[in-house]
Amino acid sequence: MGDGQATALRPGVPYDRATLYARGAWRTFTGPALGEIAFPLGGIGTGTVSLGGRGQLVDWEIFNRPGKGVVLPYSFFALWARAEGEAPVARVLEARLQPPYRGGFGLPTATVSGLPRLREATFSGSYPFARVAFRDERLPVTVSLEAFNPFIPLNDRDSGLPVALFLWTLENQREVPVEATLAASLLNAAGYDGQAALQNRRHPLFGQNLNEWVAQPVGPATLMGLRMTTRKYEATDARFGSLALATPWPHVTGKLRWERAGWWDDVQSFWDDFAADGRLEGPAEPEPSPDGETDVGTLGLVVRLEPGQRVTLPVVLAWHFPNLYNYWNREEAVRGKRLGNWYATQWPDAWAVATYVAEHLERLERETRLFHETLTTSTVPAVVLDAVSSQASIMRTTTCLRTEDGRFHAFEGCHDRAGCCPMNCTHVWNYEQAVAFLFPQLERTMRETDFGHNTLPTGHMAFRTLLPLVGATWQFHPAADGQMGCVLKLYREWKLSGDTEFLRRLWPAARRALEFAWRHWDPDRDGVMEGQQHNTYDIEFYGPNPMTGAFYLGALRAAEEMARALGEEELAATYRAVFEKGWRRLDRELWNGEYYVQDPGEQASQRYQFGPGCLSDQLLGQWFAAVVGLGYLLPPERVRAALTAIFRYNWRPSLEEHASCQRTYALNDEAGLLLCTWPRGGRPPYPFPYADEVWTGIEYQVAAHLIYEGLVDEGLAIVKSVRDRYDGVKRNPWDEVECGHHYARAMSSWSLLLALSGFAYDGPAQAMGFAPRLAAAGGGLAPDGSGGEAAALDAGGSGAGAGQPGSGAFASFWSTGSAWGLYRQESLDAAGGRSRGLQVSLEVRYGQLELRRFGCGWPAAWRPSPWTAAEARLLQPGEPPQPLAVTVVPGDDGPPAVGVTAGPERLPGVVFAGPLRLQAGDRLELELEL
Amino acid sequence: MGDGQATALRPGVPYDRATLYARGAWRTFTGPALGEIAFPLGGIGTGTVSLGGRGQLVDWEIFNRPGKGVVLPYSFFALWARAEGEAPVARVLEARLQPPYRGGFGLPTATVSGLPRLREATFSGSYPFARVAFRDERLPVTVSLEAFNPFIPLNDRDSGLPVALFLWTLENQREVPVEATLAASLLNAAGYDGQAALQNRRHPLFGQNLNEWVAQPVGPATLMGLRMTTRKYEATDARFGSLALATPWPHVTGKLRWERAGWWDDVQSFWDDFAADGRLEGPAEPEPSPDGETDVGTLGLVVRLEPGQRVTLPVVLAWHFPNLYNYWNREEAVRGKRLGNWYATQWPDAWAVATYVAEHLERLERETRLFHETLTTSTVPAVVLDAVSSQASIMRTTTCLRTEDGRFHAFEGCHDRAGCCPMNCTHVWNYEQAVAFLFPQLERTMRETDFGHNTLPTGHMAFRTLLPLVGATWQFHPAADGQMGCVLKLYREWKLSGDTEFLRRLWPAARRALEFAWRHWDPDRDGVMEGQQHNTYDIEFYGPNPMTGAFYLGALRAAEEMARALGEEELAATYRAVFEKGWRRLDRELWNGEYYVQDPGEQASQRYQFGPGCLSDQLLGQWFAAVVGLGYLLPPERVRAALTAIFRYNWRPSLEEHASCQRTYALNDEAGLLLCTWPRGGRPPYPFPYADEVWTGIEYQVAAHLIYEGLVDEGLAIVKSVRDRYDGVKRNPWDEVECGHHYARAMSSWSLLLALSGFAYDGPAQAMGFAPRLAAAGGGLAPDGSGGEAAALDAGGSGAGAGQPGSGAFASFWSTGSAWGLYRQESLDAAGGRSRGLQVSLEVRYGQLELRRFGCGWPAAWRPSPWTAAEARLLQPGEPPQPLAVTVVPGDDGPPAVGVTAGPERLPGVVFAGPLRLQAGDRLELELEL
């Protein structure tokens, strides 16, 4: 809205509009903010190596386990350059080291701390791309780096490559030619266990390491590089593996292995050789390393640049450590068992990975950029793009695994050197939406595990998974929230995929899971859980409470829909009946006038309850229902009021006065959302653990839910405060922690995009729709633009124009189980500045989509049939626009109400004459008139 | 000199005079500079706990091993305060936590990270005192802390107390009375091994921990507190021990043990209890903790403050872990053997330590402040006081030990969790001067070990020590510099103590050590070492070189003097003859016109030589000779020229272009002194390891040597650059690292004070003298003053006033084997601004001193007998001034020359009629007329 910019934000939102709604795809860091950055590079289930803020490689986590702080000695990039007539310069391609300079032995030699570096760097990140622009006027060239790993939603194979790609760009700044060598050095780490502290080439783990030069034709070019293997370990050993360092660049120099010498003579002789003339000498013949040591190899890319010339030098770093073993469980049945990595079933070794990447480099890069460009074209605030994209990285960190059988699994998060809280924890995975929406085929494998493996005949769901899937299940009492969440997730996977056979296969187990609830949590089937309810706070709630309660209601509603789709009408009616009793009782007994509370009843003296507290997660199940289009589980006005209360009471603009004896994720004058507060008193002496903590996964969940309810300012304030905490100075923007690094719960951030776009999809019905909560003012759609501001559409606004579609443009990435692309809408302006409707464009950029119905609307402007007429066209590459016959259809009648599904069918829109098939590159255009 | 302030500094010194010569006893830190501070609190051979910059307790190293980063959970100070009519506040007494906020699980609960803290703090350090001034206007009181451990030179017992003393000062800032409780909480860590990562009260190491309340009469007062013991371990177990937390403050509250409960309920219930009313409740009866957990106890000091009232609340933290075992050697004879701690022979447990401290608190504090006040009254630049005092702390860190037999031993430095490079390494201990001058009785035990244990019948000295001293010696080839250094150190201990019997006892071994040199390093006895010379760079030099060469010359000269004193005139003459040949050949063959080089001869192809390089340590032996008054070993003009070259070539104002493949102790735009450079080329491809490094121990040595040579600007520039590197942001000012934390070599900094004061002492001859290299301009002698500036006396200056004594005042701490005190001199101004002589005061503040001769002079103003007349008085407390009969005596004739001892006898001064005995409190006053 044009006047939105001048409108004050809601009370309690301590930002100005320009800050909160600022746009931009790239988040940039410099100076001290480079300090904490570690940007993960790697594929799904491959582990990662991270790019530090200064351009250094950190956290080598490619050895089948987390490795925070793991250093691979002597693995770095360096530049030699000589402008004609000048002395050469040689530099490590990193910005200068930053204080503090800790360590009892000075800064380590393993990271060549004493070699000269570049003065300054600016790091820009927009996952999956990282860029580092270096500044040092003493160099005759400018240097910048772009690093990434292919990330193509729906393409899990190409998004699961064990590789990091580095594109180095040099540009000659002199009036004379410049000769340069870009050198990549790498330790042959085959044999490394990912844990030992390596200080140099020497370690008992090493020996029989072999570096070889390989020149491999790839199309018309040749891939040149180093193949690094080990002969010390058998092919099934956990430490067995290989590395590859390669380039398709035609002019190379190199050192097959650094001098095998004592003290620091290895690195000294390398550096002296390199610094002298940028050409490297060394032995040509491969020779395994002696026992107790390995080799370092260097690949140099040689270039001559004319004045002003610019060139991009690609370096491929690939790895292959095929033997994932279960090191984390104590259970006899699985402990120490081999799981394998799925990627190793696709490529036999690291060199094969490098070759595959080189062969497909153009496409991998193009499709990854297409995703990135599509996502960042979304006209949502920069903080949302940052939250959404940065935390999507979690699925590619060591938090997640992909085992040889192709299934996707995940820890909750990571210790520094081991996964934390194995595996597939159902209640933590309640929050995540990124895998579900970007790689739904992988998410479905988790449902296969949930319902195909972990659901006992009694319906008790083991809420953690023992791997490998040899029949043993994890022994513990079930998690009420996790178990109910699984039913909702099954519903989501079904809707997103449209795969009713998938649903049919897993449905009996889901039904058992609900029957278990009827025996253990709701024996009187009044739709309200009671008794001991284990949950995501790792304790048991007793008595009716909104958190497990709303999850249960959501599961009942989802089950009703699924049962109906499978023809089990009677069962559907039973679920419905329980639901109807449930929401009424919950609403009646737990509403305190502002929000929902817990009634522990006779168990009030039990520790770890919240009683009359305001729980941030109280409507978690309702949020999930919003994401999957299940509509309201509780009265809409109560939902909105409760969210308002959560924001008012639990979100603190400063935590300076907050006193917590628990873990600390936000502090001092940082802002954050507390898990629970007691605004009316009544805090138990020992409230549930974590009550005083701040979890980003919940913050995103609540923020998205606020946005769904039109409380966009509040939602964005929460998002901004999270991202401000992860600012590079204080924390790593690509590693949100909770019970471990890269904590899975933070992938709830994907729901921010879903909420802002009001995305609705029903795969079985082939229906899609959007109901954006935001319109861009000024209409700027450039992904990199910092100018355009966005304004919230006030769902409850009373102003004449509030909630009217049409003012400004909106765009958003969207994805389903078969396709992803870009949605845009823009006002059709009439004379006098009033809108006469919407110009809509739905572009499929990847995959394929079949549509029977398409809808557009605002929840705030809810009313039947705002569209009076519609025109539709199909645009296909190289074809003339093709008019489509459509029928305008109204949305569902009346205001939102409890128990009414809120999928795309509820939006007013159009129905196509027949199923409309859109391939990648196709675009649907619609003009909808008011 | 008055005009000194306007004089430009020497070329190459990139500081202004005001910066370089600024005065001040306390170094202050705030904001980010608090980050790296860890100020060690503990006695000699007791281990330490450190006070962090924010006021927090860090690095618990009291468990017989280093413990960088070791946290004792729930051990912290807190304040509750309530101004009448206001709400109470409760705060952890620390400044706010500072970024980065790392860790996969947020900030830890063990350090109560989530409890509110104070807004800001300023940390001031002046070893052995640390002060923290807090600022937070939300508190009704101001809060400040002074922490220390008794440090009284010559009193090794009271300087070896296993205790940390905390004096908390509160001042009421309100117009109404304020009630307050200062609470000290402490984990009963008896049973802890100093290594395990503790996260809370629970660990398998714990169990049977017992907290008891003790009320012990101490004089008219009562020492109240917590005695913390364990019943789980036998009295000889390494983990056996006790802690005490006590106060003589009469009004206390407390919690014998926090609630033994799950999750964080222990800390939650403590905090809730404390925050409510500042009074603590809990069980009264002691009860051992269950297996696998220990208890936390809290001692609260209760006070009521009237408006404006100020009170100081003392807290004593004592520990007692008697069973030091050898965990560091692999040698069968000593591995795992018990050594014991000397302190445990003096006090039976921690409570006894606390009682002793309470009984003697007034004296311990007074005498420690007396030392501090005396040292900081020295009119030397602040950077020197900082370097001198901060590094004196090393002798009280875990780098050093005092075993049950009373001997003092030392690692070179510390790993994070273990000592590094055991034990008594002779070549590293060549640099140290602080123990030798402050606790010479302890230093002498090292000579007992060197010559009484480690010198084989062949004269081969094991340059490391195996403990316990069961007869086994360390097997390795000898260190040329270390072995010669030991002879020089024996000379120093003899001179400082005046104990010729001590010398006589060790002399035969020292003589064997030189005979060994004649067989192995100088078989032709030409006074120049050749062949394989192992040294402090951990490699072997070959052929003549100035570093081991000058040490050898120094040893020969020292041996000559010692042999003569013991009546072995013939042997003395032999040493002298070899010396005379030696210095001439060294000077002839190794002088390259600017500095001394190495001539590896036929071994030039050996790696790790320096050949034509400029070695910072080239005159290390000459520096030692200057410290002990042995005079010149090489021609004075060459010494000065070589030092000039070292400064010019090896000291870099910025290391940004420096390329080192070795360890990194200084980087980016920091300044530092490289160990070696090759200004004329000829750098070997593989120079000795460390050549490209920067070591503070060598920087101080070279700086002091420059000052001895009158190159004061240069010397101070080096000192300033070191201290600037250790600035709290980048590194901890109280932990200079080299091969480990608290690296012993850095105690060479004590020689800065010796050099600036030109202190000379000859115990056997009962002669003392001063020849300051510095005069204070403006005469300000206040230790805390920041105003007074000092000016170097230019030894080579040609100006009329240069080198003239008398302009300005000078004061310095001094110490001998039996006494310490303050020396002052001031000009006796005549009409016309010219000086007519010196007013001198020598005050004994501790111990006793016998003097037969006292001298004053400047090396630059060297000339026979500047004094024409003298008046002397003895001032004793309560007595009238007592005139003393003195005879004016000239200094030695002529300018300084090779081979001439430069002790106090060389200074012009006075001889007393008979031995003058000065007790603590006595003062000698002299007026010396030109």
pLDDT score for B866: 79
Spell out which residues of chain A touch residue B109, defining contact as CB-CB under 8 Å.
661-664
Amino acid type, B256: L
pLDDT score for B893: 65
At B360-390, the pLDDT tens digits run 999 999 999 999 999 999 999 999 999 999 9
Q: Is B235 part of the contact surface with chain A (CB cutoff 8 Å)?
A: no
Q: What DSSP element (H or E) covers B444? A: helix B440-452
Beta bridge partners of B614: B677
At A411-470, the pLDDT tens digits run 999 999 999 999 999 999 999 999 999 999 999 999 999 999 999 999 999 999 999 999
The ipTM estimated for the assembled molecules is 0.94
pLDDT score for A89: 97
The shortest CB-CB distance from B661 to any of A35, A268, A661 is to: A268
Statement: residue A787 has pLDDT above 70 = no
Least confident of A346-355, A534-543, A859-868, B343-352: A859-868
Least confident of A348-357, B294-303, B901-910: B901-910
pLDDT score for B864: 52
pLDDT score for A620: 98
Beta bridge partners of B28: B124
Between residues A826 and B464, the one the model is more confident about = B464
pLDDT score for A306: 98
The chain-wide mean pLDDT, for chain A, equals 94
Q: By the 8 A CB rule, do A369 and A260 touch?
A: no
Respond yes or no on whether the N-terminal peptide bond of residue B128 is cis (omega within 30° of 0): yes
Q: Report DSSP letters for A831-870, one per residue.
A: GGG-EEEEEEEEEEEEEEEEEEEEEE--STT--S----EE
The token pair that represents B584 in the structure block: 């001439």
Statement: residue B150 has pLDDT above 70 = yes
What average pLDDT does this structure show over B795-821?
65
Beta bridge partners of A437: none
What average pLDDT does this structure show over B530-546?
97
From first CA to last CA, the distance across chain B in angstroms is: 18
pLDDT score for A858: 55
pLDDT score for B863: 52
CA angle at residue A194 from A188 to A200, to 5 degrees?
Answer: 50
Tell if the CB–CB gap between A271 and B659 is shorter than 8 Å. yes
Q: Is A259 part of the contact surface with chain B (CB cutoff 8 Å)?
A: no
* pLDDT classification of B786: cutoffs 50, 70, 90: very low
| B701 contacts: CB under 8 Å, gap ≥ 6 | B431, B617, B620, B623, B748, B751
Q: Between residues 714 and 743 of chain B, which touch chain A (CB distance below 8 Å)?
A: 729-731, 737-741
Q: By the 8 A CB rule, do B841 and B850 touch?
A: no
Tell if the CB–CB gap between A35 and B100 is shorter than 8 Å. yes
What average pLDDT does this structure show over B654-670?
97
Q: What DSSP element (H or E) covers B639? A: helix B636-645
pLDDT score for A97: 98
pLDDT score for B891: 81
Statement: residue B769 has pLDDT above 70 = yes
pTM for the complete prediction? 0.95
At A477-533, the pLDDT tens digits run 999 999 999 999 999 999 999 999 999 999 999 999 999 999 999 999 999 999 999
What average pLDDT does this structure show over A630-639?
97
What average pLDDT does this structure show over B269-283?
97
Q: What separation in angstroms does the CA of B784 have from each of A418, B26, B374, B386?
A: 52, 7, 12, 13
| A6 contacts: CB under 8 Å, gap ≥ 6 | none
Statement: residue B281 has pLDDT above 90 = yes
Tell if the CB–CB gap between A97 and B275 is shorter than 8 Å. no
Count contacts between A and B (CB, < 8 Å): 180
Q: By the 8 A CB rule, do A221 and A248 touch?
A: yes
At A566-588, the pLDDT tens digits run 999 999 999 999 999 999 999 99
Tell if the CB–CB gap between B739 and A269 is shorter than 8 Å. no
Q: By the 8 A CB rule, do B317 and B293 touch?
A: no
Q: Which residue of A has its CA nearest to B662?
A: A109
Statement: residue A778 has pLDDT above 60 = no
Q: Is B69 part of the contact surface with chain A (CB cutoff 8 Å)?
A: no
Orientation angle between helical segments B546-565 and B500-520, nearest 10 degrees: 140
Minimal Cα–Cα distance from B686 to chain A, Å? Answer: 7
At B73-83, the pLDDT tens digits run 999 999 999 99
The token pair that represents B653 in the structure block: 């104002």
pLDDT score for A598: 98
pLDDT score for B892: 76
The token pair that represents A885 in the structure block: 């016959």
What average pLDDT does this structure show over B502-531?
98
Minimal Cα–Cα distance from B110 to chain A, Å? Answer: 9
Tell if the CB–CB gap between A668 and B107 is shorter than 8 Å. no
What average pLDDT does this structure show over B253-263?
97
Least confident of A818-832, B461-475, B570-584, B730-744: A818-832
Tell if the CB–CB gap between B730 and A106 is shorter than 8 Å. no
Pick from B311, B306, B302: which is nearest to B181 by CA?
B302
Share of chain B above pLDDT 90, in %: 90
pLDDT score for B685: 95
pLDDT score for A809: 86
Beta bridge partners of A166: A147, A315
Statement: residue B799 has pLDDT above 80 = no
* pLDDT classification of A276: cutoffs 50, 70, 90: very high
Spell out which residues of chain A touch residue B36, defining contact as CB-CB under 8 Å.
100, 102
* pLDDT classification of A827: cutoffs 50, 70, 90: confident
Tell if the CB–CB gap between A658 and B99 is shorter than 8 Å. no
SS3 label, residue B832: helix
The shortest CB-CB distance from A668 to any of B97, B267, B413 is to: B97
Q: Is B199 part of the contact surface with chain A (CB cutoff 8 Å)?
A: no
* pLDDT classification of B794: cutoffs 50, 70, 90: very low
The token pair that represents A847 in the structure block: 């995959």
The chain-wide mean pLDDT, for chain B, equals 94
* pLDDT classification of A860: cutoffs 50, 70, 90: very low
* pLDDT classification of B10: cutoffs 50, 70, 90: confident
At A385-410, the pLDDT tens digits run 999 999 999 999 999 999 999 999 99
What average pLDDT does this structure show over A259-275?
98
* pLDDT classification of B808: cutoffs 50, 70, 90: low
At B288-322, the pLDDT tens digits run 999 999 999 999 999 999 999 999 999 999 999 99
Phi and psi at B797, nearest 5°, equal -65, 150
Q: Report DSSP letters for B49-89, one per residue.
A: EEEETTS-EEEEE-SSS--TT---TT-EEEEEEEETTS--E
* pLDDT classification of B775: cutoffs 50, 70, 90: low
Q: Which residue of B has its CA nearest to A275?
A: B659
At A912-929, the pLDDT tens digits run 999 999 999 999 999 999
Q: Is A265 part of the contact surface with chain B (CB cutoff 8 Å)?
A: yes
Pick from B548, B422, B509: which is nearest to B474 by CA?
B422
Share of chain B above pLDDT 70, in %: 95
Statement: residue B801 has pLDDT above 70 = no
Tell if the CB–CB gap between B660 and A115 is shorter than 8 Å. yes
